[in-house]
Amino acid sequence: MSAYLRPALGFIKWVVALGIVGYLGYQNRGQFKRLYAEPIHWQFLIAAFVLCGSSIILTFYRWYLLVVALDFPFKFSDALRLGFLGYLFNYVAPGAVGGDAVKGGLMAREQKSRRTVAVATILLDRILGLMGLLIVGAGATLLVVDRIDHRNEIVAVLWGGSIVGLAGLVVMLHSATPNSWWMRLLIKIPKAGPIIADIADGISLYQTRRLIVILTVMLSVVGHFGIISSFYCCARAVATTAETPSYVTHLLLIPLAEIVGVIVPLPGGVGALEAAVQKSYELAGANAGIGLLAVSAYRVTTILIAAIGAVYYLASKRQIQELLAEGQAKSDAPSGDSTLDESLATVQTSAAKSQT
């Protein structure tokens, strides 16, 4: 991408995102006025911050387990540093660069061997996170008693995604996968072949530590329970119990809203998540404006958590700026990228679709 188009694309995305938020806010301006007329339940906001922060740190620990399972020299403090930097850059990354791309670039710089595999752990972590989110929603379908519009379609998406994800995990952990005919065929693909070969070696190592992979799936489920619980606390902070859908209904609907926030290519999902949550509240028969208030409180919570990444950024400012400069120079170069560059691009593209 041209050096001139990259900043413009980032600017346009933010204009669109903030435009959506502004439009939704104007539509529901009456609900925002209530924040001045009625007290905010600060105890719920504090609980939301604790739940969200703890769950995010748990996702960093999940990634840490995936990395050390492959025998990389990696500390949990490294996972915290890179994790918070990635979380921060999901909101403030310049141009089209995402948080996981920055995290992947730093990871590749710091790992002196098997860099492709090291970067690929970020993608695997996101896939397992998405699977955990779908499992939480699928489990909630067994408990929800409220009337919800399009319930059958929602159930089909959640259960279908969960089953596909679990089936893929079984295939990955099957002993025949690394040496299967289709894997050997993929390894022969020009340019991508060496990347796939490195990943196949990583899969072989994961197969000797299946319990760790299973643990990361369990951590994904627990983490998303925490995230959605945090969202519910944000709703309770700005509205009464009668005005908000039940906790179990949040477990059912918020996963789909989060997925929408990930699929739509806007920075941090800003605008997309707000619209999806508002629609979710409508499906549950609740006031859409209350949903927008809830997601606004949730945004404030996540931005405060992302601000922790600013501390790590100041400590790594020069290194990150060099990384971003290198990435821009390589994207403008006419020649083909190296194997490592291609793997970073793969992680950036895939993470943008599966971030959670």
pLDDT in tens, 79-131: 999 999 888 887 765 444 567 777 888 888 888 778 888 888 888 898 999 99
Q: How many angstroms separate the CA atoms of 230 and 159, rounded?
A: 23
**In this structure, what token pair is assigned to residue 3?**
């050096």
Taking residues 160-174, what's their average pLDDT?
93
What does the DSSP 8-state code read for residue 336? Answer: P
97 phi/psi in degrees, rounded to 5? -75, 130
Q: What is the model's pLDDT at position 5?
A: 64
pLDDT for residue 346: 44
Q: Hey, what amino acid is at 322?
A: E
182-207: pLDDT as tens digits: 888 988 888 888 888 888 888 888 99
CA 30 to chain centre: 32
Amino acid at 297: A
For residues 80 and 78, give the distance between their C-alpha atoms in angstroms, rounded to a whole number: 5
Residue 329 reports pLDDT greater than 80: no
Residue 61's pLDDT is what?
97
Residues 54, 99: Cα–Cα separation, whole Å: 19
Contact 276, 26 (CB under 8 A): no
CA 290, 254, 231, 247 dihedral sign is: positive
Determine the straight-line distance between the first and last CA of the chain, rounded to whole angstroms. 26
Q: Provide the mean pLDDT of the chain.
A: 84
Separation between Cα atoms, residue 232 and residue 212, nearest integer Å: 30
Higher-scoring residue by pLDDT: 303, 346: 303
Q: Two tokens at 60?
A: 């960093």
Of 351, 253, 289, which Cα lies nearest the Cα of 30? Answer: 289
Supply φ then ψ for residue 237, to 5 degrees.
-70, -25
Cα dist from 347 to 185, 332, 350, whole Å:
22, 19, 5
pLDDT digits (tens, 9 = 90+) for 209-237: 999 999 999 999 999 999 999 999 999 99
Tokens 């970067």 sit on residue = 119
Tell me how far apart the alpha carbons of residues 328 and 97 are, in angstroms, rounded to a whole number: 9
The answer to whether the beta carbons of residues 231 and 286 sit under 8 Å apart is no
The pLDDT of residue 351 is above 50:
no
Tokens representing 150 are 């399009």
DSSP letters spanning 165-177:
HHHHHHHHHSTTS
Rounded Cα distance, 63 and 69, in Å: 10
Q: With 80 as the cut, is the pLDDT of residue 8 above it?
A: no
Cβ pair 302, 42 in contact under 8 A: no
